[in-house]
Amino acid sequence: MAGPFEHVLTGLKVLDFTRALAGPTVTRMFAEMGADVIKVESAPNGDLTRRMSKLRGERSLYYVQQNLGKKSLCVDLRDPRGMALIAALVPKVDVVVENFKPGTFDAMGLGYDRLKLLREDIILCSISALGQSGPLAHLPGYDFIAQGYSGVTSLIGDAGGTPYIPPVGMGDVSTGVHGALAVLAALRHRDRTGRGQHIDVGLLDVYYHCHEVTVHQASASGGEIKPTRNGPHLNYICPAGVFRAAEGWVVIMAFLHHWRDLCAAMGRPDLVDDPVFGNDAGRLAHRDEVVALLEAWLATFSSRDAAIEHLHRHQVPASPVLSIEETLTHPHLRARGTVRRITDPVAGSFDIPGMPLKFSEFPDDLPLTAPTMGQHNAEVLREFLGLPEEEIAALEAAQVLQQKPH
Amino acid sequence: MAGPFEHVLTGLKVLDFTRALAGPTVTRMFAEMGADVIKVESAPNGDLTRRMSKLRGERSLYYVQQNLGKKSLCVDLRDPRGMALIAALVPKVDVVVENFKPGTFDAMGLGYDRLKLLREDIILCSISALGQSGPLAHLPGYDFIAQGYSGVTSLIGDAGGTPYIPPVGMGDVSTGVHGALAVLAALRHRDRTGRGQHIDVGLLDVYYHCHEVTVHQASASGGEIKPTRNGPHLNYICPAGVFRAAEGWVVIMAFLHHWRDLCAAMGRPDLVDDPVFGNDAGRLAHRDEVVALLEAWLATFSSRDAAIEHLHRHQVPASPVLSIEETLTHPHLRARGTVRRITDPVAGSFDIPGMPLKFSEFPDDLPLTAPTMGQHNAEVLREFLGLPEEEIAALEAAQVLQQKPH
């Protein structure tokens, strides 16, 4: 069931040296859209995430979630016979993706210049934490290391208090999607000009890319505006943030023209054109009072959800702060496939995030599964390189190729 | 200076009906890669962000940041002559992008079925908060509304305390990049099959897509694991999170094999194989002690940056929690172009986030500027539709076309 299936990227061939999260997201996005992805895993252990989230025996649910639809080729990369297989595969693919620490892929003999000798129009996509260039490029990195450098962490929390990190793969996954976009753009360029290239996408750049107003505010004000964390509310419109409700929390965004609708919902038409509360500047200057007003009103409802229902009837942009548990059974998230149930051949059924791109020509998610380690050794070498069964068997016997049942 | 320039997407033509942040990010990414983007702004006010971040006279720096490299066509869309211009432009472009509330674009007479009559292989990309389908699709939405529904907000903050929102455009910008990826994938499909399609990308799906372990943990444990906010530290490896240092905060990720390096940095070789602190499970079970140990040690340095320098010398993944102000002058962010200085023809020079995708064939950012409202009315109608100057002048006189100097 590893494909290839008919979808938007059918026919695209990718050689994937990625591990963990950001890199594997690039190639999973390709697999979710029908590309043929060969994931090269380094024997004897494979992707380091095969050790994580073992909630069902020896199978890593982390690995499953991030490697749907890929073929696993598990090779000893320190053995010259293993590296010979890789060198033979490069000319057969359109794209190579890697997310080693900058310099490592070069040191393995697989840098862009070497790949270009193997296939002149190859597209190499390198994913890293802090980028392939600049004084910090050599540092070891993870999502939150890049987040700290980006200034994003400094914006989350109370004024003067501990900064928080969002414990999700926001930077990693978004970086993967940025990388996938760059690869498809480079492929379009190749189609037009015949030229390949090397792409460099770093998590730090991706996090920084997400700054909405803070960078230009700090810069254009000549340092007068010093953006920092300031509680669970935005600092340039009001009300906009997280509010306490009966038995829970809600997000309300009722600035500008939405204020009128919120006043109607609260039964306070007198506040629509109030000299203080009737505009965003006044509300920002009296934010504590606005928050107290809203929270006192929210407390009059029997529950968080009753308040949300009332706000929605008045067209006020509002949402409950759902727990992860609540998202799993929410009718909208189920109807959209935002949360999807998969059935893994080893670990059985469980939920993971859905495919976030919806194409009218392909309304159903592809029935993808993740590979066990080395599951496609023989298939890949037969189909891509035409290797005879005896030779494959000899490589298995010599442990140049390896396999595990999970 | 609106291009088109030679870059990876040169030749691609896009008609852009987006406003605010997520939609404009789709088309800005295209413009940053050399596509020809016509931004249709609805007369008389144009994009609503033209009212925001007016730090330099009447020019919106928000608009500038999000609309680099686009051409502005400002049209009265309630006038049949305005809609006739739009209908004439559709056959001349490859892609249409919009981010109205679901249903609005249809009601304007520009739904996918109508566009297909104008150009059969058109690709329409619709961006929204909660998606085009499902029981909540009709609700008004913003970034943080989607974030509340996604479960992400519930994970940020202290156990039992207020959940925080990261006040950056994380969901919006990432959704824009997801949308741009979907469009290029659909174009590849069109190149192969001749078929267009309608793409649906919602912020809620994108936020949910970023869950790293929480969704499969909650689901596969049968509800035994209930992921929630739990301070500035990750809940499945340790130490991993934000720590107080002298005069500031740092991110340290020293789990698994990094623990040994951290012990060396701290001069505590005795802790490497300590029965309690020698592995992630033990450290997680005694997290408060680990945090206290690290923060006591960090307090011995004269500054945050002295601690970071020492940690880096020992190869421990670590970063300072930089303020926005500090990012603007950081040598690495400047060297990478993570922060870039632009010179706007109206507002002058200031900094915005850099182009996050680095292509070896195009090492320099394109010299893009953002348009004043209606700046390219005549140019677009002349070049795309061959309209004579008199006809353009008549449409301007009738206010079907409008302009402003900022």
A226: left (phi over 0), alpha (psi -120 to 50) or beta: beta
Mean pLDDT of the residues in chain B: 96
* Region B384-389 average pLDDT: 98
Cross-strand bridge partners of residue A200: A126, B358
Question: How far is it, in rounded angstroms, from Cα B130 to Cα B207?
Answer: 10
Q: Are residues A41 and A146 in the same domain?
A: yes
A150-200 per-position pLDDT tens digit: 999 999 999 999 999 999 999 999 999 999 999 999 999 999 999 999 999
Give the list of residues 6+ apart from residue B38 with CB closer than 8 angstroms, or none. Answer: B13, B14, B15, B16, B70, B71, B73, B89, B93, B376, B380, B384
- Output the pLDDT for position B1: 43
| Contact assessment for residue B177 and residue B29, using Cβ atoms and an 8 Å cutoff | yes
Identify the closest residue of chain A to B226 by CA–CA distance. Answer: A325
Claim to verify: residue A253 and residue A391 sit in the same structural domain = no
ipTM of the complex: 0.98
Is A154 a domain residue? yes
- Indicate whether A226 belongs to any domain: no
In a shared domain, residues A187 and A117? yes
A42 and A189 in contact (C-beta within 8 Å)?
Answer: no
Q: Which run of H or of E encompasses B295?
A: helix B287-298
Q: Based on the domain organization, do A134 and A110 belong to the same domain?
A: yes
CB atoms within 10 A of CB A86: 19
Of B299, B325, B351, the last residue of a domain is B325
Tell me: pLDDT of B3 over 80.
no
CB atoms B156 and A166 under 8 Å: yes
State the pLDDT at residue B140. Answer: 84
Pair B188, B93 in one domain:
yes
A223 is a domain residue: no
Q: Are strands A348-353 and A71-75 parallel, antiparallel or unpaired?
A: unpaired
Q: What is the pLDDT of residue A106?
A: 97
CA dihedral A315, A316, A322, A328 (to 10 degrees): 20
Best of A130, A189, A365 to substitute, by most chain B Cβ atoms within 10 angstroms, is A189
Q: Distance between CA A319 and CA A305 in Å, rounded?
A: 9
The shortest C-alpha distance from A261 to chain B (Å) reads 12
Of the pLDDT bands very low, low, confident and very high (cuts 50, 70, 90), residue B266 is: very high
Residue A368's closest CA among A95, A117, A7? A7
Q: Which residues of B touch A195 (CB under 8 A)?
A: 361
Q: How far apart are CA B18 and CA B46, in angstroms?
A: 10
Give the distance from residue A12's alpha carbon to the nearest chain B alpha carbon, in angstroms: 10
One domain, residues B48 and B185:
yes
Residue A217, min C-alpha distance to chain B (Å):
7
Integer CA distances (angstroms), B231 to A64, A168, B286, B287, in order: 28, 13, 14, 11
Best mutation target, A52, A68, A234, A251, to test chain B (most B CBs within 10 A): A251
B333–A204 CB contact, under 8 Å: yes
Nearest residue of B to residue A321 by CA position? Answer: B148
**Location of structure tokens 């592995």:** B279
Q: Which residues of B touch A209 (CB under 8 A)?
A: 173, 353-354, 356
Question: Do residues B70 and B160 both lie within one domain?
Answer: yes
* Inter-chain residue contact A356 with B231, CB threshold 8 Å: no
Residue at which a domain ends, from A261, A293, A323: A323
Residues A155 and A42 occupy one common structural domain: yes
Task: Evaluate whether A132 touches A200 at the Cβ level (below 8 Å).
Answer: yes
A134–B177: do the CB atoms touch at under 8 Å?
no
Question: Are the Cβ atoms of B217 and A53 closer than 8 angstroms?
Answer: yes
Over the stretch B37-53, which tens digit does the pLDDT of each residue have?
Answer: 999 999 999 999 999 99
Give A-chain residues touching B340 at CB under 8 angstroms. none
Together in a domain, B24 and B108: yes
> Residue B337 pLDDT more than 70?
yes
Distance (Å) of CA B128 to CA A237, A364, A391, B133, B330: 21, 20, 53, 10, 35
- In chain B, how many H helices and how many E strands? 17, 12
Residue A232 lies inside a defined structural domain of this protein: no
Neighbours of A211 (CB within 10 A): 27
SS3 B37: strand
Is the four-CA dihedral B175, B180, B181, B183 of positive or negative sign?
positive
**CA–CA distance from B129 to each of A54, A102, B98, B146, B205 (Å)?**
34, 36, 12, 6, 9
- What distance in Å separates the CA atoms of residue B57 and residue B60, rounded to the nearest whole number? 8
Where residue A144 sits, what CATH number does that domain have? 3.40.50.10540
Respond yes or no: is residue A172 known to be catalytic: yes
CB A60 within 8 A of CB A51: yes
Question: Whole domain around residue B247: which residue ranges?
Answer: 240-325
Chain A residues closer than 8 Å to B209 by CB: 173, 353-354, 356
- What sign does the dihedral B152-B156-B161-B164 (CA atoms) show? negative
Domains in chain A: how many in total?
2
- How close A283 gets to chain B, by Cα (Å)? 16
In the numeric block, which tokens belong to residue B395?
A: 């449409």
Residue B163 lies in a domain: yes
Where b means 16+ CB within 10 Å and e means fewer, B6-16 reads ebbbbebbbbb
Q: Is residue A214 part of a domain?
A: no
DSSP A153: G
Q: Which residues of chain A have pLDDT under 50?
A: 1-2
Q: Is residue B300 within 8 Å of A130, Cβ to Cβ?
A: no
Of B168, B184, B322, the CB nearest to A188: B184
Which residue among the candidates A76, A172, A270, A280 is catalytic per the annotation? A172
Substitution target in B357, B364, B366 with the highest count of A β-carbons within 10 Å is: B357
Instruction: Choose among B253, B135, B176: nearest CA to A209.
Output: B176
Rg of chain B on CA atoms, in Å:
25
Cis peptide before B232 (omega within 30 of 0): no
CATH of the domain at A272: 3.30.1540.10
As a whole number of angstroms, the distance between CA B4 and CA B11 comes to 8
Q: Among the options B76, B172, B200, B344, which is catalytic?
A: B172
- Distance of residue B247 Cα from the nearest chain A Cα, in angstroms: 11
User: Whole-angstrom distance between the N-terminal and C-terminal Cα of chain A?
Assistant: 16
Mutation site for A-interface testing, chosen from B10, B332, B343, B365 by largest number of A Cβ within 10 Å: B332
The kind and range of the H/E element at A244 are strand A240-245
Domain assignment present for residue A1? The answer is no
Cβ of A145 and B318 within 8 Å? yes
> Nearest chain B Cα to A199, which residue?
B359
From B325, B349, B373, give the residue that closes a domain: B325
Residues of A in contact with B295 (CB under 8 A): none
Residue B78 sits in the same domain as residue B165: yes
Residue B144 gets which letter from DSSP? H
- pLDDT score of B2 more than 70: no
Facing B208 at nearest CB: one of A316, A350, A354: A354
Q: Which residues contact B389 (CB under 8 A, 6 or more apart)?
A: B378, B382
CB contact under 8 A, B235 and A167: yes
**B264 part of a folded domain:** yes
Instruction: Tell me the H-state helices in B78-123.
Output: 80-89, 104-107, 112-118
CB contact under 8 A, B351 and A184: no
- Among all residues of chain B, which has the CA nearest to that of A353? B209
Residue with tokens 């963990």: A20
Q: Do A163 and B321 touch (CB under 8 A)?
A: yes
Are A17 and A26 contacting, i.e. CB atoms less than 8 angstroms apart? no
Residues B199 and B250 in one domain: no
DSSP code, position B147? H
Q: Which residues from chain A sit within 8 angstroms of residue B352, using beta carbons?
A: 215-216, 219
- Residue-wise over A35-56: b if at least 16 C-beta within 10 A, else e? bbbbbbbbbeebbbbbebbebb
Asked if residue A388 and residue A286 are part of one domain, the reply reads no
